[in-house]
Structure 1
Amino acid sequence: MWLNELQVNDAALRTYRKALRLSSPNHVVIDNLFDNSQLDAVISVLQQQHNWTTQKHSYSALYVDNAKWQKTPQTQRFVKRDLWQRAASKTVPATSTIADDFLTFLRGDEFMALLSRIFKVSLTDINVAKPDINTNYFRLAATDFVNQHADDSPGREVCLLLYLNKHWHHDNGGELVFRGTADTPVTIAPLHNRCVLFNPASPGAEHWVKALTTKNTPHYRYNVTSWYWSE
């Protein structure tokens, strides 16, 4: 239902594994991994304004409230963006069902088995206390930012970034940038139905997001972020 079957056959998986092996950081970019018609339905839900809340992180503390944020120096702020409120909350309308269904799929056995085959590691949520909070939608406005950081928590094997930005142009900004190795950063545009999979512990995996431009840019840059662990 969710996957584009042409992108998950044996030949495609061999290509992805080769890309991972040869890249620094170890990453692969897969366009059109998911069914576009299903993603269209998800996007229509994400455009509902009442389902979003602001999220702020500093380098010393996650989920900083407004009072602490105001006391945090600019150099210590690394994330300001909007977070999707999942339907588990009583305040979120039931119309968000298909968006939540997609997040459930990304956390389910079928998709995790696919990632396990690509990365040649057994992924599981058996030791993850709250799996659902590790897969969600985010959006950035021109005033938001994701500064350089690493996602290499112990046992975290795979990070997924999926972009949901139709009609995104090269001058809109918002590119993902890996630090890379040998002073060679890797820049990836956040195009619609583009999936970036990477090993967060591999050299050069620290990353950030370029600022959105304010001219001729859609109001928000949307993506899914998901983290996966091994046993």
Structure 2
Amino acid sequence: MWLNREHTTDAAIEDYKSALNHSHPRHLVIDNLFDANKLESVARALHHTSHWKTQQHTYSELYVDKQQWQQASPEERFVQRDSWRPEFLQPQGLNLERGDTRNDHVNAREFLNFLRGDDFMAFLSRVFKVSITDINVEDPDINTAYFRLSREDFVEQHADDSPGRKVCMLLYLNRDWNCDAGGQLVFKGIDDNPISIAPLYNRCVLFDPSSEGSEHWVEALSAKAPQAYRYNITSWYWSE
């Protein structure tokens, strides 16, 4: 079981519902939502450098190629980061470096499957009081992915709202992160009160992308970051 059971009790769910109703944007920050031992295996798998590919988005077009990126103005560029290439997450396609373990990579793949599975979507449905399903999602796998940011990368202000999209999830996998490292998720919030959230290990952020103030960005990593990269999982969810 990937979820820690104390976060799935009726009492916990009621607390989460109440917190959502009193936050702007509608969001939750849940520490230690997932089993720490299982996440350790996932985190190990992410620290192997050859399994990553640069991903770049502009405000006018997602997933641009190198030429399109070079032609875009700095103001048009809003995401530069690395994503873990899907071919390395398929057991038959694992290209393991020295020191890698197949179990860690398989666990990383299984965790993505869990995040798109019935148990986790049922948890989200209870918390957000909406029926979460992949029934109308053409390619669910691309909506749950591993990412990393270096000091040269960035995620500028943007909104994640989309027709039918009800929940966005961020989970951080950064050991020993400190307050001076940068990398905070920042919600625009309301009344000129932005909300800053540190990317601490096993910290999960859930939010309603259609709620007021949910526009967000990531603060740049500083020289004080304890490691070269900031790691996270991002997942988007829809209703019928």
Q: 2:139 aligned with 1:137, yes or no?
A: no
- Aligned counterpart, 1:85: 85
SS at match of 2:63: coil
Measured after TM superposition, the shift of residue 173 of structure 1 is 0.3
- Aligned counterpart, 2:214: 205
1:115 to 112, 115, 124: 124
Measured after TM superposition, the shift of residue 216 of structure 1 is 4.6
Q: 2:18 aligned with 1:18, yes or no?
A: yes
1:141–1:219 CA contact under 8 A, matched in 2:
yes
SS at match of 1:33: coil
Aligned-partner Cα distance in 2 for 1:216–1:6: 32
Q: 1:64 to 1:91 in 2, by over 3 A?
A: farther
Q: Within 5 A, what are the aligned runs for 1:1-231? A: 1-86=1-86, 87-88=89-90, 91-93=93-95, 95=102, 96-231=105-240
TM-score, length of structure 1 as denominator length = 0.97
Aligned residues: 231
Quote the sequence identity (%). Answer: 58
1:85–1:92 CA contact under 8 A, matched in 2:
no
1:137–1:225 CA contact under 8 A, matched in 2:
yes
Aligned-partner Cα distance in 2 for 1:136–1:216: 23
The CA RMSD measured in Å over matched residues stands at: 1.2
TM-score, length of structure 2 as denominator length = 0.94
2:112–2:145 CA contact under 8 A, matched in 1:
yes
Q: 1:148 to 1:216 in 2, by over 3 A?
A: closer
Structure 2: any 5+ residue segments left out of the alignment? 97-101
Aligned-partner Cα distance in 1 for 2:91–2:123: 29
Measured after TM superposition, the shift of residue 89 of structure 1 is 8.9
SS at match of 2:180: helix
Alpha-carbon displacement from aligned partner over 1:63-87 (angstroms, at most 9, x marks no partner): 1111111111001000000001122
Q: Which amino acid aligns with 2:53?
A: T
Aligned-partner Cα distance in 1 for 2:132–2:121: 6
